[in-house]
Amino acid sequence: MATASVDVARDWHGSMRFFRRDAPRADVEVLGRLYSGVVQVGAQVDGQRTKPSDYFERHKTTIVDARTHLRAGKAAWSFERNGFCYIKRPEYEFEDHASQDRKRVDAEFGPRVCEAVRRAVGARRAFWLSHQRRAEDGGFAERPAVDFSHADYGPEYEEQLRRVLASRYGLPEREAGSCGLCLVNLWAPVGNPAYRNPLALLDGSTVDMEQDTVPWILHPSVDNGYGYFQEAMGEGQHARPQMERVPQAAKDAPALAPLHSARHRWVFLSDMTPEEAVIFKQYDFRSAAACKATFHSAFADQFHKDWKACPGRRSIECRVILTFDPEPTPKL
């Protein structure tokens, strides 16, 4: 087993996959709305699924260690400035991945996550949206998204999220329509530290949202891990009406992904433990937000490559809707 002092930098140097600036784009209609200039991953042309090389290209990338890169260590990273912050994970005893109890996670872990996230970032309210366990030996939708720089949502989701706040969570319509709104993830290892395939985050303070991003969406035939996929494929009816459903990541509207830029700073927390968690922005809809999104990807860290018994990564990601006081109305 390889070990490293917290004072020793674990910066990673390698290559990561990004969307091509010239990736093919199309007009895509979803839930009755038309979106233009969107990269549709998994699209089919003449009955054949398009190839990854049609969309992606590789670039040399450095990922700095959040523990050592700045003088204050992991405490230096700011939710508002950088788009993410590290906290102590709420206490919870998880079952083994193969026998996980999703309903128990929702009922017991969910409220703890919401309160921890709300307090950490100063939100007014927090609403549990969904969660997903990840494991290297899990099914397709459960395995970590390695080498895919992306966010799961984007600005086109605002209307859906405000509607869900009222129809699913019972927030008064006036408040749901006027509150400051931000969709976040809480991510944490489960069972053992994230020795393999850790999560990298793109420092939002280094991103030009106008020049460095591309809208993308999954083709309907791609399973994104939600139960709605079976309904879309004609395999049953979901219990909730459309107005109350969790907006599907990169399915119900375009999400955003970063294009490569030498200005970008990627960050990870080396050997992140199950007692540690990171909160990061999927998308911040507040107009005054300095950082709008935190793009992310797992990556193949080779630090422990000689440790034959190194346990695979297991983790949980939790999506939470945050509301804030309404933003001041600009004076004319």
Q: Give 265's contacts (C-beta < 8 A, 6+ positions apart).
A: 64, 202, 203, 205, 206
Residue 1 lies in a domain: no
Average pLDDT over residues 260-285: 99
Distance in Å from the first CA to the final CA of the chain? 63
> Does residue 14 fall inside a structural domain?
no
Mean pLDDT for the chain? Answer: 91
What total number of domains does the chain contain?
A: 1
Q: Is the pLDDT of residue 75 over 90?
A: yes
Question: What would the mean pLDDT of 261-288 be, rounded to a whole number?
Answer: 98
Q: Is residue 248 part of a domain?
A: yes
Q: Is the pLDDT of residue 128 over 80?
A: yes
For 45-69, what is each residue's pLDDT tens digit?
Answer: 666 677 888 999 999 999 999 999 9
- pLDDT at position 226 is 59
Task: Report yes or no on 244 lying in a domain.
Answer: yes
- Those residues whose C-beta lies under 8 Å from the C-beta of residue 165, and which sit 6 or more positions away, are 127, 171, 175, 176, 179, 321, 323
pLDDT at 198: 97
pLDDT of amino acid 8: 74
What proportion of the chain, given as a percentage, has pLDDT over 90? 77
- Domain assignment present for 230: yes
Q: Give the DSSP H/E element, type plus range, for residue 117.
A: helix 110-121
Query: Per the domain annotation, does 27 fall within a domain?
Result: no
pLDDT, greater one: 150 or 222: 150
Spatial separation of the C-alpha atoms in residues 280 and 174, rounded to whole Å: 27
Residue 76 confidence (pLDDT):
99
Task: Out of 213-227, 231-245, 290-304, give the one with best mean pLDDT.
Answer: 290-304
pLDDT at 316 over 60: yes
Q: Give residue 136's pLDDT.
A: 75
In a domain, 5, yes or no: no
Q: How confident is the model at residue 6 (pLDDT cuts 50, 70, 90)?
A: low
What is the reported pTM?
Answer: 0.92
Cα(63)–Cα(67) distance, integer angstroms:
12
- Mean pLDDT of the 285-298 span: 97
243: in domain:
yes
Domain that holds residue 198: 33-93+102-324
Task: Average the pLDDT over 78-102 and give the result.
Answer: 95
